[in-house]
Amino acid sequence: MSRSTQRILFAAAIFVAAVLVVVANVARSHSQVRGIEVDIHYGSAPQLVDSQTVIDTIFAILPTLSLQRVADVDCPAVAEAAARVPALRDVSATTSVSGKVVVRARQRRPVARLYYGAHELYFDSEGCLFPTSQRASADVLVVGGDFIEPLRTDTIPAQLQALVQVASFLDENSDYSPLIDQAYILANGDIMLTPKLGDHVIELGTATNLTDKFDALLAFYRHGMPRAGWNTYSKLSLKFKNQIVCTKKPQNI
């Protein structure tokens, strides 16, 4: 077989393959949707939301989706519907060669479990709120407070923003996060911390100068507390710059 004949046959094969791809795409676009496929990236977070929850949410908003042709699927509308699941972020939707609607998303990673009046929710480092789950529980900081504003989803109240700052700071700093079990914000904006070790509370003050405050706390835990005794103090205050004010427990008489 001559070289020119080989080139002609190769070009013909490519043409036929291209025609078949076009025909397949046309056939797919005119076929009915064959279901929804959900791909959720969980990262290091526990699985708090599953694929079926996303599918149910989409069909609740777009009930005729499964009856549509693939060519008629409004992918942005599907992504917007899936994003109604509060625990999801970075949601996108496409159609696959098999005729399915494919939804991809990332699950938010909680940094704290919030008790806000009658509400029990998680929030992430951006302050986005989402429900707790019966599927799994995240081992995160527990936060609450004497909240003076009602909980809103369109904006973050100042007290909650302060708790987000503290929770995110602890989440990002592995030296400090093992020290603290709970955080509670008072009506005046001061934050009180419950440590995982010791029978005392920590008066953090406002959510400012957190690195300096926790550096001081860590140094005191390493050097001061072992000498004084872990049951000596009822409160450690970090409110004042470059010092820790300790309140001793009353002596039993």
Which among 107, 125, 158 is the end of a domain?
107
Which among 107, 125, 150 is the end of a domain?
107
Which among 68, 86, 107 is the end of a domain?
107
DSSP summary character for residue 249: P
Q: Are residues 72 and 138 in the same domain?
A: no
Q: Are residues 162 and 179 in the same domain?
A: yes
Torsions phi, psi for 17 (to 5 deg): -60, -40
The span from the CA of 253 to the CA of 241, in Å, is 35
CATH assignment of the domain containing 125: 3.40.50.11690
DSSP summary character for residue 182: E
Q: Are residues 56 and 84 in the same domain?
A: yes
The span from the CA of 30 to the CA of 147, in Å, is 55
Domain assignment present for residue 175? The answer is yes
**Band of residue 101 on the pLDDT scale cut at 50, 70, 90:** very high
Nearest to 170 by CA among 131, 130, 139: 139
Domain assignment present for residue 21? The answer is no
pLDDT, tens digit, for every residue of 198-239? 889 999 999 999 999 999 999 999 998 888 888 889 999 999
Q: Are residues 117 and 240 in the same domain?
A: yes
Q: Are 70 and 29 in contact (CB under 8 A)?
A: yes
Domain assignment present for residue 217? The answer is yes
At residue 54, what is the residue type? V
CATH assignment of the domain containing 53: 3.10.20.310
pLDDT, tens digit, for every residue of 163-201? 999 999 999 999 999 999 999 999 999 999 999 988 899
pTM: 0.82
- Whether 38 has a pLDDT exceeding 80, the answer reads yes
What pLDDT sits at residue 7?
56
Mean pLDDT, the chain, integer: 88
Q: Are residues 96 and 126 in the same domain?
A: no
The span from the CA of 66 to the CA of 53, in Å, is 16
What pLDDT sits at residue 22?
42
What is the extent of the structural domain holding 166? 112-248
Domain assignment present for residue 56? The answer is yes
Return the residue matching tokens 């917007």: 80
Q: Are residues 157 and 239 in the same domain?
A: yes
Domain assignment present for residue 253? The answer is no
What pLDDT sits at residue 35?
94
In order, the DSSP letters of 6-27 are HHHHHHHHHHHHHHHHHHHHHH
Q: Are residues 81 and 116 in the same domain?
A: no
pLDDT, tens digit, for every residue of 135-172? 889 999 999 999 999 988 788 899 999 999 999 999 99
DSSP summary character for residue 81: H
What pLDDT sits at residue 27?
44
At residue 49, what is the residue type? V
Q: Are residues 128 and 222 in the same domain?
A: yes
What pLDDT sits at residue 5?
59
User: What percent of the chain is predicted at pLDDT more than 70?
Assistant: 87
- Whether 249 has a pLDDT exceeding 70, the answer reads yes
pLDDT, tens digit, for every residue of 39-65? 999 999 999 999 999 999 999 999 999
For the chain, what is the domain count?
Answer: 2
- Whether 76 has a pLDDT exceeding 70, the answer reads yes
Torsions phi, psi for 21 (to 5 deg): -65, -45
Domain assignment present for residue 138? The answer is yes
